[in-house]
Amino acid sequence: MDNNKILEPAESLYDFSLNSASGDVISMEQYRGQVLLIVNTASQCGFTGQYTGLQSLHETYKHRGLCVIAVPCNQFGAQEPGDDSEIQGFCQRSFAVDFAVMAKTDVNGAHQSPLYQYLKGAAGGLLTDNIKWNFTKFLVDRQGQVVSRHPPITTPDALAAKIERLL
């Protein structure tokens, strides 16, 4: 690798990818033209019940172009200790989730997902851009622009009106 090469900045969300729970690389390009709700999740968090609301949004709006993408993360209180298979099983058994639940990913720090670095740069937080806890939500429009960032206390159903406007 040429360490002197200057990397070009990513131009859009579609330049990034995430790993699926099965280890496949999922390009964000496949979501072009859709409204996205990207959420860092955890199975043992006080906000874990929000999976119900995320599934409800998914069922209500998927046919109109909404894609909910869960990104499990163990960086907050070690509340996502399982491996990817265990996380998938938990989401399906406990909440009948059928939207995308990706591989466990860091959203802060030296090993953070480049997608999350991009999301945080596009929609910073209060005091710091770092994700502060599980179930932080990013809403992305059909053009791949980050429209808004929502803290964990914002319930999925509270985003329905914003999602409606984007669809």
In a domain, 10, yes or no: no
Neighbours of 82 (CB within 10 A): 16
Give pTM, 2 decimals. Answer: 0.92
In a domain, 51, yes or no: yes
Q: Where are the beta strands (DSSP E) in the chain?
A: 17-19, 25-27, 35-41, 66-72, 100-101, 137-140, 146-150
- pLDDT of 10 higher than 60: no
Q: What is the mean pLDDT of the chain?
A: 92
Catalytic residue among 45, 67, 73, 91: 45
In a domain, 108, yes or no: yes
| Bridge partners (DSSP) listed for residue 38 | 69, 138
The mean pLDDT value for 150-155 works out to 97
Amino acid letter, 6: I
Instruction: Say how many domains are in the chain.
Output: 1
**What is the predicted pLDDT for the residue at 127?**
64
Q: Which structure tokens are listed for 89?
A: 């099983």
Residue range(s) defining the domain that contains residue 123: 19-166
pLDDT-above-70 percentage for the chain:
93
- In whole angstroms, how far apart are CA 62 and each of 24, 49, 53, 55, 105? 22, 20, 14, 10, 24
In a domain, 86, yes or no: yes
Q: Given pLDDT bands bounded at 50, 70 and 90, which one contains residue 129?
A: confident
- pLDDT of 33 higher than 60: yes
In a domain, 25, yes or no: yes
- In whole angstroms, how far apart are CA 36 and each of 10, 81, 149, 162? 18, 26, 12, 12
Q: Which structure tokens are listed for 114?
A: 């480049």
What's the distance, CA 1 to chain centroid? 30
Q: CATH no. for residue 54? A: 3.40.30.10
Helix H, strand E, coil C: the string for 22-82 is CCCEEEHHHHCCCEEEEEEECCCCCCCCHHHHHHHHHHHHHHHCEEEEEEECCCCCCCCCC
In a domain, 48, yes or no: yes
Active site residue 45: yes
In a domain, 103, yes or no: yes
